[in-house]
Amino acid sequence: MKFRKKVERFISIDCGLPENSNYTEKITGINYISDAEFIDTGVSKSISPAEMITHQQQLHFVRSFPSGVRNCYRINVNMGVQYLIRATFLYGNYDNINEPPQFDLHFGPNVWDTVLLSNASRPTIKEIIYIPSKDYIQPCLVKTGKGTPFISTIELRTLGNDSYIGDSKKPVILSHFMRYDLGSITNLEYRYKDDVYDRIWSPYESSDWRRLSTSLNNNALAQNSYKPPAIVMTTAATPVNASAPLQFHWYADSVNDQYYLYLYFNEVEKLAGNKTRAFNITLNDEFWYEPVVPAVIYTTTHMTGAKRYQFSLIKTENSTLPPILNAYEVYKVKQFLQPETQQDDVDTITNIKKTYGVAKNWQGDPCGPVKYIWEGLNCSVDGYNPPRITSLNLSSSGLTGQLTYPISKLTMLQYLDLSNNSLQGSLPDFLIQLQSLKVLNVRKNKLTGLVPSELLARSKTSSLSLSVDDNPDLCMTAPCRKKNLTVPLIASFSALIVILLISLGFWIFRRQKVTSSNSKKRGSMISKHERFSYTEILNITDNFKTILGEGGFGKVYFGILQDQTQVAVKRLSLSSMQGYKEFQSEAQLLMIVHHRNLVSLIGYCDEGEIKALVYEYMANGNLQQHLQAETSNILKWNERLNIAVDAANGLDYLHNGCQPPIMHRDLKPSNILLDDNMHAKIADFGLSRAFDNDIDSQILTRPAGTLGYADPEYQRTGNTNKKNDIYSFGIILFVLITGRQAIVRAAGENIHILEWVIPIVEGGDIQKVVDPKLEGKFSINSSRKFLEIAKSCISPTLAERPDISQILAELKECLSLEMVQRHEESENDVIEMSSSSFQSVTAPFPR
């Protein structure tokens, strides 16, 4: 997309016109240009030949958007200048299906209007008066599932800043509601060149009115800041009954809507000395405006609170002539409440896209609306302040060349993932300027030289998660020799899931296995290890040599105890403990929670600011890894059922076996870990309670929980309930059976698994839901029941969600159904084999 540098008074864009084309429209004399330089997407189409005959040239083409959910133009403008902005849509059966679509029109991050095309042969027009706060505008076409969006023209006209909203101390956005020429004797629409601003004036008549016209010249017309067209102002409407009022009205879409009215008066008769014309104006039968004497004046007002607005122009007692009105305009106040992303961030991310040739559908405002945040980005969005880009993930995006300075201008960036690309050169010092940065992942590139010492220092203090491994010529200390990074400095952010090779309760589990006769001896050993010194932690982890990953509470390191037991050591970052209360008491509490389906906490370290948790090491990773695996080692249906039963057992213990009950608050597949025998255990429970502040996590939502799995009711109210975990467990069940992620990015939009799976389940097509990697090898009966259980867990009403004990019982029934079917299939195989063998032996012999 190329951006025009020169911004003209009129910008007239013919959407769909071939690139580099332009023409002057014969009737208006306006020059139109192609839209190709303002947008990268869409296809050019032309309306039917029959429609071309009756419409002006600028409506002969359309740009249609069959691909993508949101497609946006970017048009340079003069910031702070008042514009009339008009978008026109003429369907004209351009797609030969004769079904006009319905879609939304956005303006940057805000909804402008819905485009409803009631007549395929008549243009639909959307028009606003707007003062840009940036040097560009971004009209967007958004699919709503009711056909393919398209657009015919986009027209911008600069208005004088001493009219409409330009002279207001607090500018608003005005959406065109109506604009009428009341005295027209031609019944024609007027626009440019009759109207210097190219407003479209439509004729309007009433049986209660008669029309007046004049050939009088009035120089005051040119002096009026609103510049009403002379051809409109030299005609007027007046009541048929000279003693009656002149009335007009309109109906509001809502009583909460706000309107601005602009009235235009110009005397069109040469009054004799004894003739006078003066009138009052009432609104809904109440006095509204002082006596008006027409002399090219206008009035405007801001009104709200009514369903119907009735205006009456009533001649005064001393007036000898009835009232007149030449024209009027009505605008509805438009609320664009979502601020646009800060322009520095927009310019920077646009520069990054251009520099690296990022092949993503990055259009419109990067951060809004929230539903259409650019792929790979996260933003701070509070609805009041301009959003800022806080996260940029360009992993596996085919980036080449060196890291460029513009990245450092994203000053609020907290997470930067550039891993798995072909970036070259050194890791630049300007990254140090990103003071908010918490995660920097540049692994699997071709970077060279020394890692800046300031970044290393921040990594050592846990204020920065730094991932630089798999860059053979990148090193941490001088002299910099090739391939001296034999151990990863830190695991990548994408390995976030791996960090959850941890759990709670190992010490108690071992204690249960010993007899009472040696319990004192075992208790003594546990006492020795339940609290580790920092020196012991250093020895266990070999000075934090090997990093397994990183989570919301800190980095996780591989370790080995003196008895050669493998462990995972989570060193808690300072930021994760900003809300921590009593670390020791919480850690000790977690160690007495023990169950075969809860991974074990062995001990902890608490020395000043040094806090660490020592967990059992889980050999087979987590459920998320296995579901996403593309290898032949796919989880079978019975394995998925066993994992669901195991996880339900662990959650049942937390909810119903602990006093007081423990709520996990962050259930997800990556928190369900698998041991050597593929038995499932729940990990990371209790940490959300132990630490009140989760700001260190890049994927946690407020106040806890992971996007896609967090209960909407909990996110809305912040009130903790066991049923919040039930919702998350239900999403896990859907993920287990479908093999899909909780949130999938498609066509620039985040699609939640429930949006996809629920309509299919309600339609009864079970086989369409089940993970295709299973290749049909599953029980229909058990999968149907499994889906019923999952659906019950995500009920919007908390009281309707079952207790985990009930879910556990029903999941065991699912497992039984699966075992019965497998047994029947096995018996059938034996019968078929026996029958086949018998026939092969007896066939040669006669009866």
Hunting for tokens 């906490």 — which residue is that?
A: 601
Token output for 737: 């059976």
Under DSSP, the state recorded for 483 is T
Q: Which residue in 513, 554, 495, 493 sits closest to 684, CA to CA?
A: 554
- Chain center to CA of 656: 37
Bridge-based pairing state of the strands 446-450 and 422-426 = parallel
3-state helix, strand and coil shares in percent for the chain, rounded to the nearest 5: 30, 30, 45
772 three-class SS:
helix
Bridge-based pairing state of the strands 680-682 and 672-674 = antiparallel
**CA–CA distance, 570 with 507 (Å, rounded to integer):** 17
Question: Residue 820 contacts by C-beta under 8 Å, 6 or more apart in sequence?
Answer: none
Q: Which residue in 582, 603, 601, 605 sits closest to 534, CA to CA?
A: 605
Catalytic residue from among 35, 652, 666, 694: 666
**CA–CA distance, 385 with 363 (Å, rounded to integer):** 21
**CA–CA distance, 569 with 466 (Å, rounded to integer):** 18
Looking from the CA of 654 toward its CB, the CA atoms found within 13 Å total: 29
Active-site residue, 666 included: yes
HEC secondary structure over 691-704 = ECCCCCCCCECCCC
Hunting for tokens 């920065």 — which residue is that?
A: 464
**CA–CA distance, 728 with 724 (Å, rounded to integer):** 7
Token output for 34: 């192609």
Hunting for tokens 């990055």 — which residue is that?
A: 362
Question: Residue 758 contacts by C-beta under 8 Å, 6 or more apart in sequence?
Answer: 791
Measuring CA to CA, how many Å separate 508 from each of 485, 526, 537, 576? 39, 9, 21, 27
**CA–CA distance, 565 with 277 (Å, rounded to integer):** 102
Helix (H) or strand (E) holding 459: helix 453-460
Q: Is 570 annotated as a binding residue?
A: yes
Helices 753-763 and 722-738, interaxial angle, to 10°? Answer: 70
Measuring CA to CA, how many Å separate 603 from each of 238, 275, 586, 729? 91, 101, 12, 28
Buried b (16+ CB within 10 A) or exposed e, 163-180: bbbbeeeebbbbbbbebb
Helix (H) or strand (E) holding 466: strand 465-467
Q: Where are the beta strands (DSSP E) in 561-609?
A: 566-572, 601-607
DSSP assignment string, 728-759: HHHHHHHHHHH---SEEEETTEEEEHHHHHHH
> Would you call 78 exposed, middle or buried from its count of C-beta atoms within 10 A (0-12, 13-18, 19+)?
middle
Rg, C-alpha atoms of the chain: 36
Question: Residue 251 contacts by C-beta under 8 Å, 6 or more apart in sequence?
Answer: 307, 308, 309
- Chain center to CA of 589: 39
Q: Which residue in 235, 231, 318 sits closest to 276, CA to CA?
A: 318
> Would you call 388 exposed, middle or buried from its count of C-beta atoms within 10 A (0-12, 13-18, 19+)?
buried
Catalytic residue annotation:
666
